[in-house]
Amino acid sequence: MVKGYKPYNHNQIYLFPPAPQDWLPKNHIVFFISDLVDNLDLTSIEKEYEKDSRGQPPFHPALMTKILFYAYCRGVYSSRKIAAALYEEVAFVVLAGGNRPDFRTINEFRRRHIKSLPGIFVQILKLCEKAGLVGLKHVSLDGTKINANASKHKAMSYGRMKTEEQRLEKELKSIISVISISDALKNKTDKYLNQKEFMLHSYMVGAASKKIAKDMGFQNNGEAFIAGFLHDIGISIVHRYLHSNFAIIYDLMETQKLSFRDAEIEVNGMTHEEIGSFLLEKWNFPAEICDAVLNHHNPGKAQTSPSMAAIVSVADYMTQSLKVGELKLDKDNHLDEYTLGKFNFEKELDAEKFATKYKDLFWEQLEFVRFLN
């Protein structure tokens, strides 16, 4: 016979209001993150608000920084999912002190502070690592983990360790920026640009660039991912912020049969490569990434990182030839002389053969695109 159950009433009314903090174990990481951020210097964010005198007061920068950092630790990047967690997950409720900024506010916050946030996150991460706590180590954009333990390698000299640390910091900064940018720039799909197609294209070019860079023995294949992921960001920016221009470009392509490139130059006076790299420079992305983005359609002209530009160009070309994640708008890409030489291709047909070697990678990567949605 059942001896009875412990009392259970999901509509329990409390005599004293409960403290959500008590529902988490005392050593939960959110308490650590909270203390850390409270002691950080957030003036770079705060000074942005000094100019605002109208409207509702904003949410506290410490609160916003905490929930974003914790969300990234958990692999949650989408602003809608973060906003939902503020209702559904105790750890988020505790961190936010019961405040619930909506997804637009979260998005606006990271867009506004895109320059300061990565540096602040790297600071928090370093302190977490020092304390032996999980940080952003497992943050990954393509299913492969960042090698955050490299600096602990036994046989590494002090100098090498420092360089490794700097490399990791650089990579993390860029990844955090990529996460923020990809969510902040999400726009509604319309007849001019399909957002899913665009994200898939960005992601595929990023993943393929990383793999090619690795196969070619490049140390900075993390940067190749980012350059690949962001190569067409100029297109997304025009679609979002210069939408009427985008409509005219589209119209010129339809009615005058202009290529995307000719149409964008006619309407915007500049290419999507120029717009993209201009913004990435403003957002403090490493020069190699900005240069590769600027020259992804003509790597031979790159000043700082022609090899990375050539890798992105080949990866972009591969999406077309394999027909996985290709961007219909920016199609008909050709490889320039420099890229053909760099890869020892005699003609583009060799590039097509080369692409088939990466066919499996493309299909495998399709699975990881989930995080973008």
Binding-site ranges for Fe ion (CB under 5 A):
232, 316, 327, 330
By beta-carbon proximity to Fe ion, the closer residue of 61 and 276 is: 276
* Shortest distance (Å) from residue 296 CB to Fe ion: 6
Residue with tokens 């890409």: 333
* Shortest distance (Å) from residue 320 CB to Fe ion: 9
Neighbouring CB atoms inside 10 A of 216's CB total 14
By beta-carbon proximity to Fe ion, the closer residue of 164 and 264 is: 264
By beta-carbon proximity to Fe ion, the closer residue of 148 and 212 is: 212
* Shortest distance (Å) from residue 123 CB to Fe ion: 34
* Shortest distance (Å) from residue 250 CB to Fe ion: 16
* Shortest distance (Å) from residue 326 CB to Fe ion: 8
Distance CA 315, CA 341 (A): 16
Of 200, 204, 245, nearest in space to 228 by CA: 204
CA torsion 305-311-315-318 (nearest 10°) is 140
Distance CA 123, CA 224 (A): 24
Distance CA 339, CA 351 (A): 10
* Shortest distance (Å) from residue 134 CB to Fe ion: 35
DSSP for residue 300: G
By beta-carbon proximity to Fe ion, the closer residue of 183 and 316 is: 316
By beta-carbon proximity to Fe ion, the closer residue of 232 and 288 is: 232
Strand (E) or helix (H) holding 199: helix 195-215
* Shortest distance (Å) from residue 46 CB to Fe ion: 37
* Shortest distance (Å) from residue 207 CB to Fe ion: 13
By beta-carbon proximity to Fe ion, the closer residue of 208 and 327 is: 327
* Shortest distance (Å) from residue 205 CB to Fe ion: 6
Q: Name residues whose C-beta falls within 8 Å of residue 335's C-beta, 6 or more positions apart in sequence.
A: 313, 314, 317, 345, 348, 351
By beta-carbon proximity to Fe ion, the closer residue of 142 and 316 is: 316
CA distances from 354 to 23, 291, 297, 335 (A): 55, 25, 19, 13
Distance CA 245, CA 297 (A): 22
Residue with tokens 């640390």: 165
Distance CA 181, CA 141 (A): 13
By beta-carbon proximity to Fe ion, the closer residue of 118 and 206 is: 206
Q: Tell me if 210 sits within 8 A of 106, measured CB to CB.
A: no
Q: Quick one: tokens of 270?
A: 């500049």
CA distances from 171 to 287, 332, 343 (A): 13, 31, 26
Of 106, 145, 104, 148, nearest in space to 126 by CA: 148
By beta-carbon proximity to Fe ion, the closer residue of 48 and 197 is: 197
